[in-house]
Amino acid sequence: MLTLAIQKSGRLSEKTVKLLHECGIAFENGGSSKLKSKASNFPMQILYLRDDDIPECVADGIADIGIVGENIYREKNRPLKIIERLGFARCRLSIAVPKSMEYRNAGDLNGLNIATSYPNILKTFLDEKKINANVHEISGSVEIAPGIGLADAIFDIVSTGSTLLSNGLREVETVIRSEAVLVVGEKLAAEKQELLNKLLFRIRAVQTAGNRKYILLNAPNDRIKDICKLLPGMKSPTIMPLSTEGWSSVHSVIEEDEFWEKIEALKAAGAQGILVIPIEKMIL
Chain positions contacting Mg ion, by CB under 5 A? 51-52
Query: Nearest Cα to 52, choosing from 117, 114, 135, 141?
Result: 117
Give yes or no for residue 51 binding ligand ATP (CB under 6 A): yes
With contacts defined by CB under 6 A, name the span among 45-53, 228-236, 238-246, 262-270 that binds ligand ATP: 45-53
Which among 86-94, 107-115, 129-137, 268-276 is the span making contact with ligand ATP, rule CB under 6 A? 86-94
Q: Which of residues 251-280 bind ligand ATP (CB under 6 A)?
A: none
Which helix (H) or strand (E) segment holds residue 95: the answer is strand 91-98
d(CA 6, CA 12): 8
Nearest Cα neighbor of 137 from 125, 121, 148 is 121
Q: Is the dihedral of CA 225, 230, 232, 233 positive or negative?
A: negative
Task: Please select the residue that binds ligand ATP; options are 23, 72, 80, 230, rule is CB under 6 A.
Answer: 72
* CB of 158 or CB of 203, closer to ligand ATP: 158
**Binding to ligand ATP by residue 17, rule CB under 6 A?**
no
User: 3-class DSSP state for residue 200?
Assistant: helix
**What secondary structure, in 3-state letters, does 50-89 show?**
CHHHHHHHHHCCCCCEEEEEHHHHHHHCCCCEEEEECCCC
Dist CA 41 CA 43 (whole Å): 7
**Residue choice 16, 71, 94, 167 for contact with ligand ATP (CB under 6 A):** 71
The item of Mg ion, ligand ATP, none sharing an interface with residue 22, based on CB under 5 to 8 Å by kind, is none
Q: Does 55 bind ligand ATP (CB under 6 A)?
A: no
Q: Which chain residues interact with ligand ATP by CB under 6 A?
A: 7, 10-12, 50-52, 69, 71-72, 89-91, 157, 159, 178
